[in-house]
Structure 1
Amino acid sequence: MAARSSPKLLKNLRFLHTQSPSISNSTGSSLNLLEKLTPSIPKASTTSSVENLNFDDGERLFSSMSTSQLLKSTFNLHLVSFDPVVDVGIRVMRSSLMEKKVFRGVLLELIKRTVYDHFCAGENVEEASKTLQRLWDVGLRGILDYGLEDASDNHGCDRNLEEFLNTINTASLLPPSSVSFSCVKITAICPIYLLERVSDLLRWKQKNPLFNLPWKLDSLPFLCDSSPLYHTTSEPCPLTDQEERDLQLALQRLMRLCEKCQETNLPLLVDAEYTSVQPAIDYLTYTAAIRFNDDENPIVFGTIQAYLRDAKERLVQAIEGAEKRGISMGFKLVRGAYMTRETELASSLGVASPIHGCIQDTHECYNECASFMLEKIALGHGSVVLATHNLESGKVAAAKAEELMIGKGNLKLQFSQLKGMADGLSLGLRNAGFNVSKYLPFGPVEKVMPYLLRRAEENRGLLSASTLDRQLMRGELKRRLKVAIMGGEGDKIMAQG
């Protein structure tokens, strides 16, 4: 049954009602009726075809969401779609006002009740588990992510590792198959400065194959001719003895995570970052993959960012390298989240941006990478998580999967969207029978704030482009309101009769 609306949610609806000229003023008296609607929760279909990938039927798409949930989602999506609101929020969060205890407490509480609740799963793993359970009840899975940012020393890395391990332990106690992946940011378990140093050395070796790296272990290829190497303009100094020990500690942390994931049969997604540290991340990821991906179901998944010009070349060479070794490699495909950072850095160095010149090229690269992975899956090689909020990419991939006769229950193909984003796409893919997960960052509000600020800065276009979801949700709210009004009129007629 759908939960009844709180007074605060009714207030939000009244706000939307007063702000939207398309909703008649005569509907104000029907708000209580609207909140009484309790749409039933459907089970995810296992026999439907891509023809069921219908994004026009809001009633079916959002049948598993209560009116209260729709109201709150619509309000928050409107809030984050306005650049001035995002700009003011970012400035305030980074201002000296945050040093004032009273102001800080009020602001964090406001954030928690709006954008935090919308995009995050809770302040701790217990709250995140409840969010995941609600998703599981409506046919969606979850990807638990303790929302940490970069670590600066080994102490911080060790503390973060324990949080990641605790997340995996908790996931193992949840309903079977409700959690599709755990995930890790290498920047949280290896000091960021060390990743920069290692990346410099790896790039220099790409330029000069005879350059000796005595600490380097066996790995899959991770740089190619089209990779951005401009970060490293001269030969870097070798790692110091302490840096080599720290690198070994970082690798041991990653191996502990992989071992725990292997024990619990829970694959591990390794997130991608900015190009200045990505070579080291890929090196560590592929080193772990060689050890743990020794059967057809990979434990370790890397991430490919399709907005990078070298994305497909690196994906192809990594998959082919894995096939030659007789191991299976899994990848998460994303478009990318560091456009501003990458473009500004390249410009400051007087070189071309590593990112595609236009959004259409990024879309084409994403779809080509997805098609390549789907063809590999059809042949029995590799696994892929198609992490996309783009409606057309979802449709193209779903059609390709059906063309290749990849079964809807095949766990080697999964779709994923962020919590609070592209819910229409998530639910549409679910209705068509595909495996769909929502990415669930969690953690204390103050610790997750860097994640939220980065999401706000780097994904302005994505947040503004939530138009489809907002339109679909508004349409469904209007439909429910109309049903409530008509139902009320019908009750009056029956009473008069």
Structure 2
Amino acid sequence: MATKFLSPKLLNTLPPFTRFLSSASTASIAAVSPLNFDEKPEPNDAEKQLTEPTTATTNLDLSDHQKLFASVSTLKLLRSSATLGLASNERFIDFGMWVMNSRLMETSLVRDAILKTVKHTFFQQFCAGETTEEAADCVRRVHDSGFRGMLVYAVEHTEDNAGCDRNLEGFIKSVELSKSLPPSSVSFVIAKITAICPIGLLRRVSDLLRWQYKDPSFNLPWKLNTLPIFSDSSALYHTLEKPAPLASQEELDLHLAHQRLLKLCQKCIQDNVPLTIDAEDTSIQPAIDYFTYSSAIMYNRDDKPIVYCTIQAYLKDARERLFMATKTAESLGIPMGFKLVRGAYMSSESNLASLLGYDSPIHNSIGETHACYNDCASFMLERIADGYGAVVLATHNIESGQLVASKACDLGIRKGNQKLEFAQLYGMSEALSFGLKNAGFQVSKYLPYGPVDMVVPYLLRRAEENRGLLSTSSLDRILMGKELMRRQKKLQFTKSKMASPSSIKVEIGTE
């Protein structure tokens, strides 16, 4: 019989969330990311950010484009501005997705031409390279700009054990790569459970875990100790009938998958690099949380989390699940780290729930999602201030960045605290990244890498889930445009000064 460490009823006896973030309106500012960070913003928010005052206590200045982009070359500014402009056009993205998924890709010459074009535009903007050597060079460049790198070997959705074994080696090489780079230049190695456990098995395990939550007498003999995976508000409609127990081969595959994760955790401990497990859609997320929490119980020790779980704040149960898992881990003396994101599977989640006749597991409004994200961030900051846990605040949302930075200062969390990290995607939200860095906070850039034909599908899956992909780039494009204009004027002034005739002094002397 499974053991529940913390029943939902017990929540009423625990301290509620206190000292939430500022109640300033969150209805207008959002973000979208191809890698699960944020959601779509309302129009004109970028312009508002240039005129609205920043919280004074954080020194988070997002208006001084000259200071923000001081370390960025003009060539990179030009390329980034152009690429972000294209990426913010939904019709262009739709056309690109159609091409990438069309039969055109079956013709080798056409495929090579398309991938070459992608490599020198979007791949170059948002990815760290194809090889470990290119990823290492990217980490060094990022580090020279004052950021840290989150190494992401971009594989996922694997069907068999052979593919899972290959992917594990790729993740192991990411950890080894981090040791060859400057100290502290790599903040995390990122892994996806879908890359080291067959996707069909993750669905089966998730079904079994959901059914056990409905019926605690349902025995799962293979189940290890874990933290709370569900709350009373969690979506359970994926499993409408009692699932069959795992077959002997499935149990063996589950054991192999768990051994892969443990091997990766052991490597991270050996090389002192934290591991963050990315989130997926709710159909398989219970199994992912099970893998993550069971390994965290084994390896998170001495107030230093090695294994981080990802919480998607756009889910209605996110706040409660974070609270329950954190409190249970704390009661067991296990330091727990979380990466907090907004979420990426909005369309598929809502469509599936509607098809089955259930309410969407996602908050009914963007304002509710923002409130949930900010509340979860506030809760984790308070835990850190009390000496427990760690958090990665992965967001492209300007308002959340400002509010959380202010909250950290109010709680006395010193800038540079190893338990607090901000994160944005490589090539996106540069203004927010530089602003947070200039204010003294640790900032990481999410660096996916791998062969173009492997990484592009990885990004396209996010594009399909996020209509309005990369529209968060509007503030960056405005500020980049202003900085390019400033540099152009400066260049013109310099050229004009150099071209002006020098004054000639003629002295007429006497013989």
Instruction: Please give the TM-score of this superposition, normalised by the length of structure 2.
Output: 0.87
Match among 456, 464, 477 for residue 471 of structure 2:
464
Give distance in 2, aligned partners of 1:134 and 1:247: 39
Residue in structure 2 matched with residue 477 of structure 1 by the alignment: 484
Amino acid at match of 2:402: K
Aligned-pair CA distance for 1:325:
0.5
Amino acid at match of 2:249: Q
Residue in structure 2 matched with residue 380 of structure 1 by the alignment: 387
Q: How does 1:383-422 map to 2 (within 5 A)?
A: 383-422=390-429
Match among 247, 252, 255 for residue 240 of structure 1:
247
Kept in 2: contact 1:198–1:280 (CA 8 A): yes
Aligned-pair CA distance for 1:492:
2.9
Kept in 2: contact 1:285–1:302 (CA 8 A): yes
Q: Which runs of 4+ in 1 moved over 4 A?
A: none
Matched, 1:290 2:300: no
Amino acid at match of 1:150: H
Amino acid at match of 1:194: L
Aligned-pair CA distance for 1:480:
0.7
Amino acid at match of 1:329: M
Residue in structure 1 matched with residue 268 of structure 2 by the alignment: 261
Amino acid at match of 1:257: L
Identify the structure with the greater helix proportion: 1
Aligned-pair CA distance for 1:461:
2.9
Amino acid at match of 2:227: L
Gaps of 5+ in 2: 1-55, 505-511
Match among 44, 55, 59 for residue 66 of structure 2:
59
Match among 229, 234, 241 for residue 227 of structure 1:
234
Give distance in 2, aligned partners of 1:397 and 1:494: 55
SS at match of 1:342: helix
Give distance in 2, aligned partners of 1:191 and 1:118: 31
Larger RCO: 1 or 2 (CA < 8 Å, sep 6+): 2
Amino acid at match of 1:229: L
Kept in 1: contact 2:463–2:469 (CA 8 A): no
Kept in 2: contact 1:186–1:281 (CA 8 A): yes
Gaps of 5+ in 1: 1-48
Kept in 2: contact 1:144–1:439 (CA 8 A): yes
Residue in structure 1 matched with residue 215 of structure 2 by the alignment: 208
Give distance in 2, aligned partners of 1:201 and 1:421: 39
Match among 66, 72, 80 for residue 73 of structure 1:
80
Matched, 1:330 2:330: no
SS at match of 1:441: strand
Give distance in 2, aligned partners of 1:291 and 1:77: 42
Residue in structure 1 matched with residue 144 of structure 2 by the alignment: 137
Identity between Structure 1 and Structure 2 (%): 58
Q: How does 1:45-124 map to 2 (within 5 A)?
A: 50-124=57-131
Give distance in 2, aligned partners of 1:476 and 1:120: 24
Residue in structure 2 matched with residue 368 of structure 1 by the alignment: 375
SS at match of 2:63: coil
Deviation per CA, 1:147-186, whole angstroms, max 9, x where unpaired? 1121000000000000100110111111000000001000
Kept in 2: contact 1:147–1:451 (CA 8 A): yes
Residue in structure 1 matched with residue 225 of structure 2 by the alignment: 218
Aligned-pair CA distance for 1:458:
2.4
Give distance in 2, aligned partners of 1:103 and 1:391: 40
Aligned-pair CA distance for 1:494:
6.0
Instruction: Please give the TM-score of this superposition, normalised by the length of structure 1.
Output: 0.89
Deviation per CA, 1:57-113, whole angstroms, max 9, x where unpaired? 000000010000100100110011111111111111111111101100100000000
Aligned-pair CA distance for 1:439:
0.3
Give distance in 2, aligned partners of 1:63 and 1:299: 34
SS at match of 2:502: helix
RMSD (Å) for aligned C-alpha atoms: 1.2
SS at match of 2:279: coil
Kept in 1: contact 2:179–2:271 (CA 8 A): yes
Residue in structure 2 matched with residue 156 of structure 1 by the alignment: 163
Give distance in 2, aligned partners of 1:298 and 1:462: 32
Match among 487, 492, 499 for residue 492 of structure 1:
499
Aligned-pair CA distance for 1:51:
4.1
Give distance in 1, aligned partners of 2:87 and 2:79: 13
Aligned length: 450
Residue in structure 2 matched with residue 437 of structure 1 by the alignment: 444
Amino acid at match of 1:326: G
Deviation per CA, 1:223-258, whole angstroms, max 9, x where unpaired? 110000000001001000000010011100000000
SS at match of 1:180: strand
Give distance in 2, aligned partners of 1:189 and 1:103: 32
Give distance in 2, aligned partners of 1:100 and 1:462: 28
Give distance in 2, aligned partners of 1:272 and 1:212: 26
